Chain A
Amino acid sequence: MTLEFDRSIIGTEFDRTAFAPISAEEIRVYASASGEPCPAPDVAPPTFVLRQRGDRFMPANIAKLGRVGFDAGKDIEFGVPVRVGDVLTAVSTVHDIYEKTGRSGSMGFLILRTVLTNQHGEQVALIDQKMMFR
């Protein structure tokens, strides 16, 4: 099966979400559940950034890619740490879309990029999520 791609969506912003100020309780609960230590008091563990997902997870017209989608992986570049009281904004774009053909047939890959910044305009994280479709 050949998958349908619309590469014109590359670069399209599909979500922009501003979050409420980060509370000490949110950080405490996340650190407790993940087992990941806080680097300092009032500073969130690094992977806390994964929690700050935008309201819209996927671009609206992604259904054409394939029948079934999987989360294939993530790549995070960390910037300044998240602190109690930070007001974060997540902006998500379609970073890339391509097809690969293997022994099991055609697979589509979609890379969604989310850039998370704080109230000072500093980059907190750049997160690439790779989705695989077949």
Chain B
Amino acid sequence: MTQAVRFEDVDVGHELPALRLTLSSAAVRDYALAARMPAGRFTSEEAARAEGLPGQIVPGNMSLALFARLLATALPGTTLQRLSATFRALVHPGRALVVHGVVTEKHCTDRGDLLECDLVIESADGDRWVTGTATVQVSGVRGRGSATGT
């Protein structure tokens, strides 16, 4: 079992190990159906083109799920408190994605010890398709009423 991350072991500037993946058309369709988003633009290349899109697109919700997956993998044992994403460009299946992030702030609060993160989904060439932020609570440690950060 993966060991839970400890608040004192994570510094501001800590880079989350990137997820590198290429979503297949079938994987995007399967997500869309599991997420109750059956619109053709998410499930079929042909249906997306018929809507005037260049091809099948990845649902924005799936980008949020990729961010959550990154955080669960890179910061095990933490609890996601807030997650946001800005969709800057269409994301298509069949293209290499890099999902990565960095810890930007640490806070000890009465809600627990919190880490703030900046998140990005970008192409292999560095084109930023989705940006986001997250707040995660590090479990097992209660806040001490002070704050540190950038």
Contact = CB atoms under 8 A, between A and B. Distances in A.
Interface residues of A, number: 24
Interface in B77-99: 79-87
Interface residues on B, range: 20 to 34
Contacts of B31: 33-34
B124 interface: no
Nearest to A33: B34
Contacts of B68: 34, 36, 45-47
Contacts of B72: 36-37, 39, 45
B62 interface: yes
Contacts of A75: 82-85
A85 to B, nearest CB: 19
B34 A29 contact: yes
A72 interface: yes
Majority secondary structure of chain A interface residues (helix, strand, loop or mixed): mixed
Nearest to A79: B81
Given A32-B34, A37-B72, A78 B80 contact: yes
A33 B30 CA distance: 6
B35 A51 contact: yes
Nearest to B52: A68
Contacts, number: 78
A134 interface: no
A63 to B, nearest CB: 17
Given A33-B31, A36-B69, A73 B84 contact: yes
A3 interface: no
Contact of B87 (A29, A36, A71): A71
A105 interface: no
A30 B65 CA distance: 10
Nearest to A45: B68
A45 B65 contact: yes
Given A29-B34, A34-B31, A47-B64, 19 more contacts: A30-B35, A33-B31, A34-B34, A34-B35, A34-B68, A35-B66, A37-B69, A37-B72, A46-B80, A47-B65, A50-B64, A50-B65, A51-B61, A73-B84, A74-B64, A75-B85, A76-B64, A77-B82, A78-B79
